[in-house]
Amino acid sequence: MVDLRLLRFFIAVYEEKNITLAASRCCVSQPSISSGLKQLEQQLAGDLFARSKKGVEPLDSAHYLYPLAVKLVEEAKQLPQLFQAKAARQKLTLAVMPDLSPSRLAALLIQLKQAMPLLDLQLVDYSSPADCRLTLDVLKHQDEVCLPLWEEDYVLCVPKGHALAKVSVGPAELNGWDFIECPPCEAHQQTIGLLACNNMSLNLVAKAESKSLVMALVLAGFGISFLPDGLIEDQPRLVQVKFDGPRMFRRIGLCYPAHQTLSPALLSLLRHIAQT
């Protein structure tokens, strides 16, 4: 491994073409420069300079080494600054619930980047440990505070060309249709209960544990379902149909510990959200 000090000696000699001037420039003795050059030549297994009474003349090997040596020495100079800059960056780990609106999530991340340019942000799986969580307000833990961010309306989703692919439908028009249920979804339970109160029902043909899987089943033609408008905003093969009934929506918020010391990055994030 080449000593950076030897490379600095080499650069000085190469540029000054004189051992004495190089020693003065490096604030060392002339024998130190000569000894350093000899050590470097031994490590590289070849001479770097032709020595004469008039001074030194770089050989081809020195011309080859010079740009590499300059690059290595300059990069070494920048190391302390890079580490200081890294230490100054704020770190935040955010657990993100699946099946959120991609565009609204991206808009939030753009805001974070603009508000905190020195932020080291790590997005992790919803079940992973994190400083805060992006999730539904109804999924807030008892020891958390939830700061609302946006709302997404549930809309009836049908494939293009479906008989219900129109501007809006009422509860009675859903009677008897094949329906894909998402058991954790309040909107689905609300719709099923609404129809039951009017002696109507849906034909439950499939179930899925996530909204993305429900969407896949709708696309495959298994049936119809209700999905958040943000999740299907970029899905050209689906038609969003307004439901003429009670509003069904979900509220997404930022959940964070209520009784713990918050990280500086999280505090900055909360201040930014409060201002905007």
pLDDT in tens, 70-107: 888 888 887 767 566 565 678 889 999 989 999 999 99
Same domain, 94 and 82: no
Q: Is 17 left (phi over 0), alpha (psi -120 to 50) or beta?
A: left
Same domain, 180 and 225: yes
* Tally of domains in the chain: 3
pLDDT in tens, 33-47: 888 889 988 888 888
Same domain, 141 and 268: yes
Residue 66, Cβ neighbours under 10 Å: how many?
17
Same domain, 185 and 54: no
Q: Which residues partner with 91 through β-bridges?
A: 120
- Residues 153 and 247: beta-carbon distance below 8 Å: yes
Is the pTM for the entire model greater than 0.85?
no
Tell me the helix, strand and coil percentages in the chain, rounded to 5: 45, 25, 30
- State the average pLDDT over residues 252-261: 90
The yes-or-no verdict on residue 144 having pLDDT over 90 is yes
CA dist 186 to 91, 194, 258, Å?
35, 12, 26
Same domain, 141 and 10: no
Determine the structural domain holding residue 202 and report its residue range.
151-251
Q: What is the CATH number of the domain that holds 239?
A: 3.40.190.290
| CA–CA dist 226, 179 (Å, integer) | 9
Q: Which of 126, 136, 142 is nearest to 94 (CA)?
A: 126
Q: HSE-up of 228 (CA within 13 Å, CB side)?
A: 24
